[in-house]
Structure 1
Amino acid sequence: MKEATLDQVETRPESSMAVRATIASSVGAALEWIDFAAYGAVAATIFPKLFFSAMDPNMGILAAFITFGIGFFARPLGGIFFGMLGDKIGRKNILLYTLCLMGGASFLIGCLPTYQTIGIAAPIFLVALRFFQGFALGGEATGAQLMTMEHAPKSKRGLYGSFINIGSSFSSACANGMMFALIAVMGIVEFESWGWRIPFWMSFLLVIVGVYIRMRVTETPAFQKAQSQGVTEKVSAFDVFKQYPKTILRLLIIWCAPTACFYVITVFSLSYLTKNLGMDSQSAFLCLAGANLLAVVMVISGGALSDKFGRKPIMLISSVLMLIVSMFYFSMLDTKNWYVIFAAMAMFVGFLQIQSGVQPAFFAEPFPTKVRYSGSAAAYTGANLVAGGPTPFLVAWLLQNGGGSTLPVTIFCGVIICLALVAIICSPETRHLEMSR
């Protein structure tokens, strides 16, 4: 492909390949996120009984949340590993590898015997497979964003990129919706016995669909241009950390807030509602699924608004709204009124997901093509390591050691949001920057 043609592909607003890349990246990312979200749902409700039954119930919950966090520990490793490969061999090939790895690990989780069957080997295998889930998602999340961002026209990068991040909310809605449906059809006893395995078994079919879609997308124009100029061959493994350490750290701090709060809502809230407030898990799954479906609109709105007003203003507004709703989130859950609980979840996750719509562009634009995958992945997955994985465990510990009071959890959310606000204020505007540099 000639360079002139590449430029045309990059700038043409209605480019069919840009649309195809967005669809392929969004669908593939959503498929992988479904597996990741399904794990979070059962980790909060089922796994303490199946894989940690020898422990005290409170310790079983903490242990289950630790296995949940293992996936986040693996994500930066996967992000750095696949990021360096993606900056050398391209975005498309990496996305095929990560999809197959995620699907295989998820399918095997669905096949795992429980603690009662094989003893201590069960949680060990669970931890190992969760690690591979996180390792794959570390490369997938950033790669899917870049596949879209580097194909998208400049004036619509925020909008196109936002479709990638509907995966986290859409997949959480699908995962919790599946749990609700399975419990409704099978009953809670059958669901806890074997029905929880069904979402993981479905990974086999999801991989086939995802690979087929992604095979129909070309490599990105920005990477092809860098490759033709020999730029990609000169990149060493740690160039991005030497050249852009402040940028990586700033973006990491910014993303800690939505990451931590997302898992307070989608993982810890399930445990809090069912274990501490005595609410039924089926209704909790339904509320969370509905809230995440509404949040999909907020993701897309955030990306579109950032194209018009800039990345920084939208990130600031979203953070302020998150801070406000975090102050009374648990008070609304404590009413034990399902309508109020749904409203609390919808507002918190909705305001949070505005930032998810801005994030792909906000993280990709500061870096040049030769280190864009590595830099974006380091910041994005680093935030998930620092704030995503430990959060369910940390807030469960805060609750248990705070006499059942949710005030320490509320303070935790407020502090981390305020830190992100400071980092956003210190950030430059990036929507004017070229991707093919």
Structure 2
Amino acid sequence: MSTQRSTPSDPSMSRRAVTAATIGTALEWFDFTLYGAVSATVLPKLFFPAMEPTAGLLASLATFGVGLAARPLGAITCGYLGDKLGRRNLMLATVTMMGLASVLMGLLPTYSQVGVWAPVLLVLLRIIQGFALGGESTGAQLMALEHASPDRRGRYSGLLGLCSPLSQILANAVLMALAAILSAEQFESFGWRIPFLLSFVLVVVAIFIRLKVDETPAFVALKNTAKEKVRSPLKAALGSHWKTIVRLMLFFCSPAALFYLIVIFSLSYLTKHLGLTQSMGFMSLMVANICAIVGALAGGYLSDRWGRKKALAFGSCMTLLILTVYFPILNTQNIASIMAIMGLFLGFTQFQSGIQPVAFAEAFPTQVRYSGSALAYTGANLLVGGPMPMIAVWLMSQSGNSPWPLVSLCAVINLVSLAMIVIGPETRGIDLNHVTDGASQDTASNVLLSKQLGGQP
């Protein structure tokens, strides 16, 4: 067996890589998040007016789920190309694709203008958005983490984990400002389009930033070895690492489900079921996402100190506890209490998401890291993340607006996730730049060949 180690990335390039990954991914999540917010508010009336209100809301949320369903296709395609051609080139392509789809979404005619073509085109653009985000999410994580030093990977992972809540804050801030400036009729007519059209500027910024980053040391080391390691990274990942993919996917099902439960369904629940204004709903989400940023950073930082398993298990236990009191506190309709519980719930959900990038990256060898990580990440979102808002609406309608069937389902998902954390290995300190011959190299072997933090094998 031959091995080779790459030259570690210099500190300035590491900082540049994590900055590029964080900003670029946040901009992509901004586009994706905007749709989530408007799908629960204005889109049912504009694109599904022929349906009664509950059916229209379900149809609108279904188009949100379509974007998530397209993410595995983007993950598979970009994962294959990223493991073959490099992380950097794929990152430039995905951010461009996302931005162009969002601009076109801002120009879409409504049902009253073109009839059934309006929802058809909406679904098509959502598929493109989902494809781009499926490739982007994992690629940006690897671009940053493969540049990072082992003792700072968790902190960099936390920075990547804040992309989603940061985008939520930006998207909801823009929508709140527009809702405050414009009348309800103006916002419904054209106001919701403005943030999507601004995506053109975001694309230019993201591309400029990413052009300044080199290819990662791990991928350079892989390309510099004597012979090609893997003819098909996707086949190798599914063939030799399928157990790891399934375990990580089941772990991330809980953070994915709870995230969309809070940021998508809760907005609809607050405004349509409890009667809060849209502005108050957006404000509650804003506070929750500020807490989520703190949670992501804390999760990444503590995973460097405690290890990935202990930190993830702590976050999982906290979300399980908060889940039992979430809806009763929302039902009090006390604004301060609502903001507090949403902040805690999303904060500890994102605590786990702040560890996810590094936990996934350390679970696979370089040859299949992009493919394996992307399949696990997007698989969780496809299985429960995207469907969760629709499942929540359906369960509430079938239970007479009782939240307990929904709570029970989420508790089961949370317990399965916790079990996957417990049975998984500790990976903190693995050498991500280590290259071995043989695509079927098990991650456990990589652990033995690497130095853990503190000099322990």
Secondary structure, aligned partner of 1:45: coil
What amino acid is aligned across from residue 259 of structure 2 in structure 1?
F
Task: Report the counterpart of residue 28 of structure 2 in structure 1.
Answer: 32
Structure 1 residue corresponding to 2:363, chosen from 354, 366, 370 = 366
Structure 2 residue corresponding to 1:52, chosen from 34, 43, 48 = 48
| Alpha-carbon distance in 2 for matches of 1:416, 1:37 | 23
Q: Does 2:298 correspond to 1:301?
A: yes
Task: Report the counterpart of residue 149 of structure 2 in structure 1.
Answer: 153
| Alpha-carbon distance in 1 for matches of 2:6, 2:197 | 40
Contact 1:180 1:283 in 2 (8 A): no
Q: Deviation per CA, 1:394-431, whole angstroms, max 9, x where unpaired? A: 11100111111111111121111011011111111001
Q: Deviation per CA, 1:115-138, whole angstroms, max 9, x where unpaired? A: 111111000000000000000000
Query: Cα RMSD (Å) of the superposition?
Result: 1.4
| Alpha-carbon distance in 1 for matches of 2:308, 2:185 | 48
User: CA offset at residue 230 of structure 1?
Assistant: 4.9
User: CA offset at residue 338 of structure 1?
Assistant: 1.2
Q: Does 2:116 correspond to 1:116?
A: no
What amino acid is aligned across from residue 386 of structure 1 in structure 2?
L
Task: Report the counterpart of residue 43 of structure 1 in structure 2.
Answer: 39
Q: Does 2:402 correspond to 1:402?
A: no
Contact 1:75 1:381 in 2 (8 A): yes
Contact 2:95 2:132 in 1 (8 A): yes
User: CA offset at residue 192 of structure 1?
Assistant: 1.2
Task: Report the counterpart of residue 352 of structure 1 in structure 2.
Answer: 349
Task: Report the counterpart of residue 79 of structure 1 in structure 2.
Answer: 75
Give 5+ residue unaligned stretches, structure 1: none
| Alpha-carbon distance in 1 for matches of 2:198, 2:395 | 35
State the TM-score, normalized to the length of structure 2.
0.92
| Alpha-carbon distance in 2 for matches of 1:180, 1:233 | 51
Structure 1 residue corresponding to 2:390, chosen from 390, 393, 412 = 393
State the TM-score, normalized to the length of structure 1.
0.97
Distance of aligned partners of 1:382 and 1:230 in 2 relative to their CA distance in 1, 3 Å threshold: farther
Contact 1:88 1:232 in 2 (8 A): no
Task: Report the counterpart of residue 104 of structure 1 in structure 2.
Answer: 100
Structure 1 residue corresponding to 2:270, chosen from 255, 268, 273 = 273
| Alpha-carbon distance in 1 for matches of 2:45, 2:231 | 48
| Alpha-carbon distance in 2 for matches of 1:270, 1:371 | 38
| Alpha-carbon distance in 1 for matches of 2:56, 2:196 | 22
Q: Does 2:319 correspond to 1:322?
A: yes
Q: Does 2:413 correspond to 1:416?
A: yes
Identity across matched positions, percent: 48
Distance of aligned partners of 1:56 and 1:304 in 2 relative to their CA distance in 1, 3 Å threshold: same
Contact 1:170 1:292 in 2 (8 A): yes
| Alpha-carbon distance in 2 for matches of 1:6, 1:391 | 42
Contact 2:161 2:355 in 1 (8 A): no
Task: Report the counterpart of residue 132 of structure 2 in structure 1.
Answer: 136
What amino acid is aligned across from residue 390 of structure 1 in structure 2?
P
Task: Report the counterpart of residue 178 of structure 2 in structure 1.
Answer: 182
Task: Report the counterpart of residue 67 of structure 1 in structure 2.
Answer: 63
| Alpha-carbon distance in 2 for matches of 1:4, 1:234 | 16
Task: Report the counterpart of residue 335 of structure 2 in structure 1.
Answer: 338
Q: Deviation per CA, 1:351-407, whole angstroms, max 9, x where unpaired? A: 111111111110000111010000000000111110111111111100111111111
Give 5+ residue unaligned stretches, structure 2: 435-457
Structure 1 residue corresponding to 2:249, chosen from 247, 252, 262 = 252
